[in-house]
A = this chain, B = another copy of it.
Amino acid sequence: MVYLTRIERFNAAHKLWVTEWSDEKNVEIFGKCSNKNWHGHNYKLYVTVKGKPHPLTGFIIDAKKLGKIIRDTVTDKLDHSNLNLDVDFIPQHLQPTTENLVILIWQQLEPHILAEGAQLHYLKLVETETIYAEYYGEA
């Protein structure tokens, strides 16, 4: 069993804001992340699939094909978007935190990886130089 990782990137705006809360509570909990006029990040997404290398090609999955799947199903939709407003697979009631994004991205990617005969193993989403979230599809 070998693991192959492909990295893609996207740049997006977002804010953290719970509509049920007062302005004061939002500022108290989310600090500068609650700026009503948005802020943004350069995100870096790691997608790891696992499997056995094919005896002839030596591939678990063609890394170029994996890159295209990631861009078509996830990063082209997220790139230069507003994560709170523009993305069909991010529900309005969920905060676009790195933790929530990594689960939502998994749900988008997994069927397309399986359709290629590979198995999605791991996602890492890096939001800043000092913060990232990881997910293994665990309930």
Contacts and interface: CB of A to CB of B under 8 A. Distances in A.
Interface of A: 1-9, 11-14, 16, 18, 20, 29-33, 35, 37-42, 48, 53, 56-60, 62-64, 67, 79-82, 85-86, 94-100, 102-103, 128-136, 138-139
Number of this chain's copies in the complex: 6
A100 B57 CA distance: 10
B82 A39 contact: yes
Nearest to A59: B97
Which label, helix, strand, loop or mixed, suits the secondary structure of the A interface? mixed
- 9 A-B pairs with least C-beta separation: A40-B40, A58-B95, A58-B97, A32-B80, A37-B82, A13-B38, A3-B134, A13-B13, A1-B138
19 contacts: A1-B135, A2-B133, A3-B133, A7-B129, A7-B130, A8-B130, A11-B41, A11-B128, A12-B40, A13-B37, A13-B40, A29-B57, A32-B79, A37-B81, A38-B38, A38-B82, A39-B82, A53-B100, A58-B97
